[in-house]
Structure 1
Amino acid sequence: MYDAVLVPTDGSDGSATAAEHAIDLAQRHNASLHALHVLETEQVVDQIPDFEDSSIFDRLADAGQQAVDDIRTQAADAGVNAVTSAVEQGVPHEEVVDYIERHDIDVVVMATEGRTGPSRELIGSVTESVVRASPVPVLAVKVGGES
């Protein structure tokens, strides 16, 4: 039923919970797993001169790479044979939908809650936007203290 599972991650605990579900789904269907992190820079570029040349960009990129590497390791340890990871730059929900289309993804697994506090305002409801725009099913994993 599923040959390719995508799990977007922002490195949060919620994303880690979604990754567990995605890994399980990939195992059950002998599917490939794709881990994706999107560097959302659009809203901060205007606030920080030379953002892409700054060490902030490098730290964000490193954190994103670490998030997808962690999922890659978890998946390999769980016996998922094919794992692909990517760090993209752009508007998160748009990049997720583009990735779905470019990589023939069959299902997306995302947390309903990622980061909290001020950074949540930057992220918005990425999961909701993906659910609305995705051409494939999206499994929304409820995490955190949501009611």
Structure 2
Amino acid sequence: MYDHVLVPTDGSDRILDALEHASSLVQQYDATLHVIYVVQASGVVERLGEEEFEAMIERVERAGKEAVETAVEHASDHGLTGVETEIRQGVPAEEIVGYTEENGVDMVVMATAGRTGDERDVVGSVTERVVRSSPVPVVTVSA
């Protein structure tokens, strides 16, 4: 039923609940787990300048690599191997949906709010946008 399950990460602890759920699905269906981290950089270069922008992008991409590595370690702890990972730059919801379409993802599993989530929000803004525009089912995990 599900061959490819995607978990977008922002490196927050809230993602661990989504990874837990996704790991269960991946094991049940003998699927491939995909993990994506999106660096949002739009509008920043104009405020910072080119040199500062490049330094900021490097820092954020390092954070993205750490977030993806944490997800892979978590998956490994649950007996999963062969996790597909990617770090992209762009608008998070658009990149998540784009990755879904480009890689034959059957289901997206997301935390309801991530690093920038407001505790009062029921669903984080990125999660809400993905739910509205995804061509595949999106499972939201309350975090």
Q: TM-score, normalised on structure 1? A: 0.87
Determine the structure 1 residue equivalent to 2:13.
Answer: 13
Rounded to whole Å, the distance in 1 between the matches of 2:19 and 2:58 is 24
One-letter amino acid of the counterpart of residue 25, structure 1: L
In the TM superposition, structure 1's runs of 4+ consecutive aligned residues that sit over 6 Å from their partners are none
User: Is the CA contact (8 Å cut-off) linking 1:7 and 1:35 kept in structure 2?
Assistant: yes
Determine the structure 2 residue equivalent to 1:80.
Answer: 80
Deviation, 1:126, is 0.3
One-letter amino acid of the counterpart of residue 140, structure 1: T
Greater displacement, 96-105 / 64-73: 64-73
Determine the structure 2 residue equivalent to 1:140.
Answer: 140
One-letter amino acid of the counterpart of residue 139, structure 1: V
Structure 1 unaligned residues grouped into runs of 5+: 119-123
Deviation, 1:53, is 5.3
Rounded to whole Å, the distance in 1 between the matches of 2:111 and 2:25 is 15
SS at match of 1:46: helix
Determine the structure 2 residue equivalent to 1:121.
Answer: none
Rounded to whole Å, the distance in 1 between the matches of 2:37 and 2:3 is 20
Rounded to whole Å, the distance in 2 between the matches of 1:91 and 1:53 is 16
SS at match of 2:43: helix
Structure 2 unaligned residues grouped into runs of 5+: 119-123
CA RMSD of aligned residues (A): 1.8
User: Is the CA contact (8 Å cut-off) linking 2:110 and 2:127 kept in structure 1?
Assistant: yes
Greater displacement, 80-89 / 59-68: 80-89
Deviation, 1:16, is 2.0
One-letter amino acid of the counterpart of residue 99, structure 1: Y
Determine the structure 1 residue equivalent to 2:106.
Answer: 106
Relative to structure 1, the CA distance from residue 131 to residue 79 in structure 2 (aligned partners, 3 Å threshold; closer, same or farther) is same
1:112-123 to 2 correspondence within 5 Å? 112-116=112-116
One-letter amino acid of the counterpart of residue 9, structure 1: T
One-letter amino acid of the counterpart of residue 76, structure 1: S
Rounded to whole Å, the distance in 2 between the matches of 1:35 and 1:25 is 14
**Number of residue equivalences:** 138
SS at match of 1:54: helix
Rounded to whole Å, the distance in 1 between the matches of 2:53 and 2:43 is 16
Rounded to whole Å, the distance in 2 between the matches of 1:96 and 1:90 is 10
Determine the structure 2 residue equivalent to 1:27.
Answer: 27
User: Is the CA contact (8 Å cut-off) linking 2:109 and 2:141 kept in structure 1?
Assistant: yes
Rounded to whole Å, the distance in 1 between the matches of 2:10 and 2:51 is 19
User: Is the CA contact (8 Å cut-off) linking 2:38 and 2:95 kept in structure 1?
Assistant: yes
Determine the structure 2 residue equivalent to 1:36.
Answer: 36
Rounded to whole Å, the distance in 2 between the matches of 1:76 and 1:59 is 26
SS at match of 2:65: helix
